[in-house]
Amino acid sequence: MLITIEGIDGSGKSSLLNGLKEELSDLDVIYTREPGSTWIGEQVRRGIAENIDPVAEALLFCADHAAHLGEVIRPSLKDNKIIISDRYTDSRFAYQAVTLKKILPEPMKWLKEVHEGWTIKPDRTFLLVLPVEEALIRLKKDRDKPEHFECGNVLEEVLNNYLEIAETDPERFILIDALKNKEEIIKFVADCIRQMPHKQKKYL
């Protein structure tokens, strides 16, 4: 079972994941993230830090996703594990549709085509919905957070993309009001995960 957590920078994804580790400690869960912790993930972070060409950056994120699928997602699904990923494909759809906007005529269409045929769709996605101004306040408090997208306008567009994507797939998405307190959010998501039917599926 593949569960993903999405939202703009500072929306509380890492906090939620950490909380779930405790709340779901009796379950055998694989926690993972994109960009990943492999050498490709390191190159993605380097690309972000050095503000590289947006197409190069988008393709690095895709390469990282391919490695993530090969190294973590597919093997864990084969073992019938519960996987919870901090960011996944929707991050590309939400963020790169903005960064590629001035380069490609239809970035979202391009991004969907690039992923077609090899990615694996999550069973459930929790989207933390937080107003950009609150995210910026939270991020300012965290000095160690990347500042790549700490520009309100970009995050505003990213948030809108997320909401549009969620609208097209209401069965997969659960929207969370990220203004609620951490404990309440963690408890709600943990309960949702416990209630999900965990059936054996066949994956490539």
Ligand X SMILES: Cc1cn([C@H]2C[C@H](O)[C@@H](COP(=O)(O)OP(=O)(O)O)O2)c(=O)[nH]c1=O
Closest among 71, 107, 116 to 89, alpha carbons compared: 116
Tokens of 171: 């069965």
SS3 127: strand
Tokens representing 61 are 């994120």
- CB of 32 closer than 8 Å to CB of 88: no
Positions in 137-176 near ligand X (CB under 6 A): 145-146, 148-149
41 annotated ligand-binding residue: no
Residue at shortest CB range from ligand X? 95
13 assigned to a ligand binding site: yes
* Contact map string, positions 95 to 134, toward ligand X, x by CB under 6 A: xx--------------------------------------
* Of 9-17, 22-30, 171-179, 181-189: span binding ligand X (CB under 6 A): 9-17
The number of beta carbons lying within 10 Å of the beta carbon of residue 103 is: 12
8 is in an annotated binding site: yes
Does residue 91 bind ligand X (CB under 6 A)? yes
Q: What is the rounded distance in angstroms from the CA atom of residue 105 to the CA atom of residue 149?
A: 22
Instruction: Give the footprint of ligand X on this chain (CB under 6 A).
Output: 9, 13-14, 34-35, 48, 61, 87, 91-92, 95-96, 145-146, 148-149
